[in-house]
Structure 1
Amino acid sequence: MKMNSIKISFVTALFFLTSTVTFAQDFQGKAYYFSKTPMNLGAWGARLSEQQKKQVEDRLKNRLEKTYILTFNKTESIYKEDEKLDAISGATDTWGNNFSPGPLYKNVKTKTFVQDQEFYGKQFLIKEELQTLEWKIGTETKQIGNYTCFKATCKRTDFDVSWWNFSWDRLRNNYVENKSDSIKTADVAGLKSETLKEEIDMVEIEAWYTPMIPVSQGPDDYWGLPGLILEISVNNTTLLCSKIVMNPEEKIDIEAPDKGKEVTKKEYQEIISVKMQEMRDNRGRNSGRRP
């Protein structure tokens, strides 16, 4: 699939002839995105043969290449992964799902952010005010399918772009005092938000939006531009829209998730950090037992 290839299907060609009021009240759209993340095996990968690298790449394909669906109207949207079976095992990526973003609802009018996260069978509901992004809109343009797109950039903290994921480095760096690389579960459990260091690592975000679809929506929690975001690059991952369907025959109710324990992003990060450290400690104790 070419990166600049996008198929556009419409229920009716009269969509572009409708009034702004009708557009705002009655329409619904679905945008399909696919993600591409290069595989980086580091020093370990340098020791592998090309065949071994190919086997690893095939095994990690579900984590490196994903498909998402953004269902949107003028003010609301639901963004979620379109899960697919592993081509090798015939199963979904259960482990990877613990550290993937869950279904996300956002309302750009009320600035509502609600994300459904499941972590090892427990349901969480992350609720916060939708973060305002300080976009810098440029004059550079490019064509994505039938759409003329404009470039925009902004900066976000590393935490903001990956709070749902887990990193041992982040866990260590969150301590005001790091006495060793070994972190006790009791210490992690007692960690409070006020003791966390402010994230200072900034990530450059590059987006391409089209005013031809005048909604302030985009994939994930990106929004705030005068048109639908069709492409966005964050770190080494690029999300690109591959298909848009306006006014689909089967519409869905765009509603915020409402089941799960309500927490903030930082509270959720603390919860999964505690759990991962507990699992690590348990593995260490079990491996140390004599048969």
Structure 2
Amino acid sequence: MRSITLFILLFLASANVFAQKMEGQITYEKVYHWTRLYSRLSYLSNEEKDRMKMTWANDDEHKQEMTLFFNEKQSFYGYPKNEELDGGYSWRKGEYKIYRDFENEKRTDIIEMLGKTYIVDDSLKLPKWKVMNKIKEVAGYMCMMAVTEDTIKSQKITAWFADNLPVSGGPEQYSGLPGMILELDINDGDIVTTAKEVKMRPVTEEEISIPKKIKGKKIATQKYEELMSTHIRDSIKSHRNPYWAMPY
């Protein structure tokens, strides 16, 4: 009887240790489809869109590696360190660092856009997700589908999350599901960010914590959304692509 009790105690102790080590690194591949993005610009004629598709027929995709570090309390998402720039696309390597503090429900996003670096420092505003009755495998994990909408950018957002990675994080600026988002699809394939590798390992403070010194203009979520909304409206009115100066 004593041996059975000891076994149960050891099992519970090991399970508790395992639960405390829900941390690691996820490598994502972010794929842009340029003709899809441009086809949504309302000021372009059908003839211009068709010509663009023919011109970019064999060079439509751009791939970008992204990295997410996470534990149960927080996460950091951004470009890999020491990345070699992909010739011709170095302009996309502006500041883009997304920090999430799940424990205190805070966001800190360091984003270069509209010619400036902004620090969106505010409470964490979560999307209104709708979990769907669909599943698929991503990076070796069985994932469930959830959908929401970005009303500022008029985008349909589809996420695939793994409930056996019980951290409410994900790529880009998306979180708030009962499991890590391993794939994020914006507007039915305009941009798809997919986990290629999930590596469970200890995460250091340097990898996941917000730097003590950050250069940029601090703004709240409401002001950030107002800036985006105004820029998109003015750009479309002037027949300019708004996403040359801000993240899609």
- Report the Cα offset of residue 38 of structure 1: 1.8
Of the structure 1 ranges 40-49 and 65-74, higher mean CA displacement relative to structure 2 is found in 40-49
Deviation (angstroms), 1:118 = 3.2
Q: Match of 2:182?
A: 230
Indicate conservation of the 8 Å contact 1:34/1:241, yes or no.
yes
Name the structure 2 match of 1:29.
24
* Letter matched to residue 31 of structure 1: I
Find the residue that maps to 1:103 and give its secondary structure. Answer: strand
**Residue aligned with 1:137, SS:** strand
Q: Is the 8 A contact 1:45 1:53 kept in 2?
A: no
Aligned-residue CA RMSD in angstroms? Answer: 3.3
CA offset at residue 49 of structure 1?
A: 9.5
Assess, with a 3 A threshold, how the Cα gap between structure 1 residues 120 and 132 changes in structure 2: closer, same or farther: closer
Q: Which residue of structure 1 lines up, in the alignment, with residue 244 of structure 2?
A: none
Q: What residue number does 1:65 align with? A: 63
3-state secondary structure, aligned to 1:23: helix
Residue pair 1:103, 1:117 contacting (<8 A) in 2 also: yes
Q: Cα offset for 1:69?
A: 0.5
Contact between 1:28 and 1:251, CA under 8 Å: does it hold in 2?
no
Shift of 1:77: 0.2
Task: Report which of the two has the higher share of strand.
Answer: 2
**Contact map agreement 1:70 1:219 (CA 8 A) in 2:** yes
Note if contact 2:121-2:220 (Cα within 8 Å) is conserved in structure 1.
yes
Distance change (3 Å), C-alpha of 1:261 and 1:212:
same
SS at match of 2:175: coil
Aligned to 1:126: 120
Deviation at 1:216, TM superposition (A): 1.3
Residue aligning to 2:85: 85
SS at match of 2:96: coil
Indicate conservation of the 8 Å contact 1:108/1:223, yes or no.
no
1:48–1:132 distance in 2 versus 1, CA, 3 Å: closer
Identity %: 24
**Unpaired segments of 5 or more residues in structure 2?**
1-12, 40-46, 239-248
> Does residue 117 in structure 1 map to residue 111 in structure 2?
yes
**Contact 1:126–1:262 under 8 Å retained in 2:** yes
Displacement of 1:80 in angstroms is 0.3
Residues 124/155 of structure 1: CA separation in 2 closer, same or farther (3 Å cut): closer
1:262 to 2:218 alignment? yes
Give the Cα–Cα distance (whole angstroms) in 1 for the partners of residues 53 and 185 of structure 2: 30
Aligned residues: 205
Partner Cα separation in structure 2 for residue 253 and residue 217 of structure 1: 16
| Deviations, residues 179-212 of structure 1 (Å, cap 9, x unaligned) | xxxxxxxxxxxxxxxxxxxxxx4x3321111122
Shift of 1:117: 2.2
Q: CA deviation at 1:46?
A: 3.7
Taking structure 1 as reference, are residues 54 and 104 closer, same or farther at Cα in structure 2, changes over 3 Å only?
Answer: same
| Aligned 8 A contact 2:67 2:78 in 1 | yes
- Judging changes above 3 Å, is the alpha-carbon distance between structure 1 residues 37 and 21 closer, same or farther for their aligned structure 2 residues? same
Q: What is the Cα deviation at residue 151 of structure 1?
A: 1.4
Question: Deviation of residue 264 (structure 1)?
Answer: 2.6
After superposition, the C-alpha distances for 1:17-39 in whole angstroms (9 at most, x for unaligned) are 94245533x45310111112222
Match of 2:136 in 1: 142
Cross-structure match for 2:3: none
Q: Give the CA deviation at 1:142.
A: 1.4
One-letter amino acid of the counterpart of residue 110, structure 2: D
- Runs (4+) off by over 6 Å: none
Separation in 2 of the partners of 1:238 and 1:228? 16
**Alignment-derived partner of residue 221 in structure 1:** 173
**Higher-RCO chain (CA-CA 8 Å, sequence separation at least 6):** 1
> 2:132 & 2:51 partners in 1: Cα distance?
43
3-state SS, counterpart of residue 208 of structure 2: coil
TM-score, structure 1 normalization: 0.59
